[in-house]
Amino acid sequence: MADLVMVIEDEKEIRDLVRYNLERAGFRVALADNGEDGLERIFAARPDAVVLDLMLPGLSGLEVLRELRGEPVTRDLPVVVLTARAAEMDKLLGFEHGADDYLTKPFSPRELVARLQALLRRARPSRAEPVVQVGGLRVDADAREARFLGKPLTLTPREFDLLAFLAHHAGRVLSREELLRKVWGYDYLGETRTVDVHVRRLRLKLGERHHVIETVTGAGYKLVAPKKPAERRGKKS
């Protein structure tokens, strides 16, 4: 499934140019012409990366960035900042505001595509490291094999994808919407209940130590390293 890039830029010409080039490079693109809409759409659509203009009417690009970095779900979202003035780059150089990369206008669309691709590769350790070990859980994405406490798990392809995604993002709360989008695919027309059903089945297969998949009330699911039975005793699940 193609990665979704949210482009927040008030200048229509640049927006169109970026959209054209990103789509040609195989990305899916969502557009916003101001910071407020951009933020709203980012939290709703959960893109894989953001292209953010600094000089925006209303909420500035830096304020948008600050909002994104302040929220756990978007803290690690790759952001490429576009800036018209080289002087602004100084502010971003130390990445104190949390931009992952930046380009000065006028920029080469090809360069923007290259930067985005590099950021997305970095943001996905799963592509570089096919084997993930979390506590007693071992997921091998290349071999499509999962083992829990040394025993192989028999999973459907979807269950495997879900478990692999949870394992690759261990310790992070993942919303049902995000899981649906990232595991089932952006265009999947389903309800978030689908996620609950699959999590329930996964837990059954994980057996008595299925608490590695935690339900985070009102937020979603999180994979945690299995705890020793003594530590788990008395804890509500």
Instruction: Examine residue 106 and say whether the peptide bond preceding it is cis (omega within 30 degrees of 0).
Output: yes
The pair of structure tokens assigned to 59 is 């909420």
- Distance set, CA 6 to CA 35, 46, 69, 127 (Å): 11, 9, 16, 22
What single letter denotes the amino acid at residue 188? Answer: Y
Alpha-carbon span 237 to 227, nearest angstrom: 13
**Binding residue (CB under 5 A) for Ca ion from 3, 48, 53, 178:** 53
How many positions of this chain bind Ca ion (CB under 5 A)? 3
| Segment lying near Ca ion (by CB under 5 A), choices 33-41, 51-59, 108-116, 188-196 | 51-59
Lookup: tokens for 226: 């299995």
Contact (CB, 8 A) for 39 and 17 = no
Q: Is 17 a binder of Ca ion (CB under 5 A)?
A: no
C-beta neighbour count of 62 within 10 angstroms: 20
Q: Binder to Ca ion among 2, 17, 30, 55 (CB under 5 A)?
A: 55
Task: Please identify, using beta-carbon distances, which residue of 53 and 100 lies nearer to Ca ion.
Answer: 53
Least distance (Å) between residue 197 CB and Ca ion: 45
Which lies closer to Ca ion via its Cβ, residue 55 or residue 103? Answer: 55
Minimum CB separation of residue 54 from Ca ion in Å reads 7
CB of 216 to Ca ion, least distance (A): 37
| Residues forming the site for Ca ion (CB under 5 A) | 10, 53, 55
